[in-house]
Chains A and B, each alone.
Chain A
Amino acid sequence: MIGLALKGISKRFGNTAVLDDVSLDIGADEFLVVLGPSGCGKSTLLRAIAGLESIDSGAIEIDGHRVDHLPPGKRGVAMVFQGYALYPHMTVRENISFGLVNVGVARAEIDRRIGEVARMLEMMPLLNRLPAELSGGQRQRVAIGRAIVKDPRVFMFDEPLSNLDAALRSRTRQEIANLHRRIKRTMIFVTHDQTEAMTLAHRIVVMNRQRIEQVGTPSEIYSHPATLFVATFVGSPAMNIFVATRIAAENALLQVRLGDGTVIETDVPAAALAHGDILRIGLRPEALQLCAPGTGLMNAKVDFVEFMGDKTYVHLSLANQERLIAVDGAASCARVGEMMGIRFDPRAAHLFDAEGRSVRA
């Protein structure tokens, strides 16, 4: 069932597009994460759905009803702001009840709902405090409580974890995931942090330059990036990208030569690459294995080594000075300045055409 539908929405400020023909259907109980670098339009998208920004064209529908002409309060959406936006002069109780009082909910009903939310978020003892008397994590809870209490159709989170420290961030991430399991509603979560996106999302929308690059489950996004941008933005350390030239295809499978002369036979039919002989090949650092020099598909010199505890990041450079990163075991034998062989399954290579689009079998 579709909870929220975006139909070709666009917005411009003067000559600059801030949203360019964005279309998307979001399930009624789906947890959707919008992922992208700053300035990609993800916050604008969220604010447009909330009604805090107008749209120039397109339609927004919630539960089949068009809402893009309605004021923010009438759309049935609630939002958790990046800076929480708690009313500083109101107690936690007043903060949470403000939206209910405004629409004339009865006093008894307000008290009942506040009690419910406060128990759910374990903030009973905080109800009579002012936001200034709360820690960052507690403010975060209040902001979430203020959203839940209105029982909206769509929940929106605008980078809600970016102001928390690392430990609290991971805990709050789990709490938000739990929250979604309990109240099955559409949730849209905007972030630039791929860990948050990977761990929380049913589906991830990767945005770049005011457009949607790819929509897919976390595993699809990671395993089959549709564009070069998605490939390099998702995954840490980032995917190694090499410029490659196609060479005469045998067996109808595409063969490419890397800058250092290595020839790779892919599992992609040559016919899939419609035009152009220059392409890019992407290899995830975790798909590369180090081996003795001369025994792998290519050789590279070790530039430096980062020991991470459970694994080691080995930074290398090829004969033509192209750099790459490989993830090795904790007991890596890579030594700075030495040559190493690199082995990988050619079928794990991602191919992108001259326009950055994925070329797949």
Chain B
Amino acid sequence: MSGHNATAAPRAWSAAAAEARSGLLFVAPYLLVFAILLVYPLFSGMWLSLHKADLFGGSEFIGLENYWRLSRDPVFLRSVRNTCYFVLLTVPALTLIGLGLALALNNQTRRSAILRGLFFSSSVLSVTIVTLIWRMVLIPDGGLIAAFLTTIGLPPVPFLSDAHLALPALAVVTLWWCIGLPMMLFLAALQQVPKDLYEAAALDNAGRWRTLLRITLPSIRRTTVVVIVIEIILQFQLFGQAQIMTLGGPNNASLPIVLFIYQIGFQRWDIGYAAAASEVLFCIILLAAMTQFFLAPGRRRG
């Protein structure tokens, strides 16, 4: 009844609209979750950061006052320095060791298959298990390293309560925990490099080192950038390991930004201030990740 005398154009238009409608229905479930759990909190967080608010509902608009406070808060500044230091300790190491493992285990032998599984297995553990294991390794009172040091006649080292060793110790724990993902990403990339490139290089007299530098690394450049960006984003959000193993101590020496946010927001209930710190962290991560894209080499000529 509806379209018998309609001209072609409106009919086509209504067909396109119908298609758009059904398309929208298909993406609606995810869009809803995305809007409620990501977009709304993102903007409400920004809005919240402009308020003096606590968890009991009192809220007062104070403009950029929270950010001004952050810029002069020595604990916050300490946490920013700590986090950056931690990222510098972990991201290059994760990238290099992940690449090294992938290169070493990129073959079809049974031994490599077992080792790949082993190196990846730590990634499936929860942070509580990981920290529990490493506590047993690191504590000066009967820990694995302490026991080893004692047998060769050296005093035990209090890794987690030494201001200079706490963050490096957390970095080692994180390395052990997180190495699986970069290794797997690099392995996937290495399998994508065409075999005949290596054969051409062999005929071109390229040694192993030259082949690695001139064939392999340029071929997996994109993956390297992805790994670095992912790890920057992940490691800036250090929380569980510090929370469980050091509580940010001693004397805030291992306090990361997220733990600072947690303490301000959920222990002192100053959620406006915590929201402002979150926004700063958000900007730092965004900036760091973007720098990677711009610094990535080899983007010559369109």
Interface hits, A238-255 → B, CB 8 Å: none
Q: Does A98 contact B (CB under 8 A)?
A: yes
Known: A73-B204, A83-B194. Is A98-B199 also a contact (CB below 8 A)?
Answer: no
Size category of the binding interface on chain B: 20 to 34
Q: Mark B191-215, 1 if CB is under 8 A from A, else 0.
A: 0001011011111111100100011
Interface of A is mostly: loop
Contact between chains at B205 and A87 (CB < 8 Å): no
B218: chain A residues at CB < 8 Å are 87, 89-90
Q: Mark B227-256, 1 if CB is under 8 A from A, else 0.
A: 000000000000000000000000000000
Q: Does A79 contact B (CB under 8 A)?
A: yes
Which of B203, B204, B214 lies at the interface centre, i.e. has the most chain A CB atoms within 10 A of its CB?
B203
Contact between chains at B203 and A72 (CB < 8 Å): yes
- A156 and chain B: residue at smallest CB distance: B203
Contact between chains at A99 and B204 (CB < 8 Å): yes
Q: Mark A30-56, 1 if CB is under 8 A from B, else 0.
A: 000000000000000000001110000
A83: chain B residues at CB < 8 Å are 194, 196
Q: Which of A73, A87, A130 contacts B203 (CB 8 A)?
A: A73
A-B CB contacts (within 8 Å), total count: 65
Contact between chains at A102 and B200 (CB < 8 Å): no
Known: A83-B194, A98-B214. Is A88-B207 also a contact (CB below 8 A)?
Answer: no
Contact between chains at B203 and A79 (CB < 8 Å): yes
- A71 and chain B: residue at smallest CB distance: B202
Q: Mark B67-101, 1 if CB is under 8 A from A, else 0.
A: 00000000000000000000000000000000000
Q: Which of B207, B219, B298, B301 contacts A102 (CB 8 A)?
A: B207
- A88–B298 Cα distance when bound, in Å, is 12
Contact between chains at A81 and B196 (CB < 8 Å): yes
- A73 and chain B: residue at smallest CB distance: B205
Rounded to whole Å, the gap between the CB of B28 and the closest CB of chain A is 40
Contact between chains at A89 and B298 (CB < 8 Å): yes
- A150–B204 Cα distance when bound, in Å, is 9
Known: A81-B196, A83-B194, A89-B218. Is A102-B204 also a contact (CB below 8 A)?
Answer: yes
Task: List 27 A-B residue pairs with CB atoms under 8 Å apart, sorted by A's residue number.
Answer: A50-B203, A51-B203, A52-B202, A71-B202, A72-B199, A73-B205, A73-B206, A77-B203, A81-B196, A83-B194, A83-B196, A85-B194, A85-B196, A85-B199, A87-B201, A87-B214, A87-B218, A88-B219, A89-B218, A89-B221, A90-B214, A98-B201, A98-B206, A99-B205, A99-B206, A102-B207, A146-B204
Going nearest first, the 4 A-B pairs with the smallest beta carbon separation are A73-B205, A99-B204, A85-B196, A89-B218
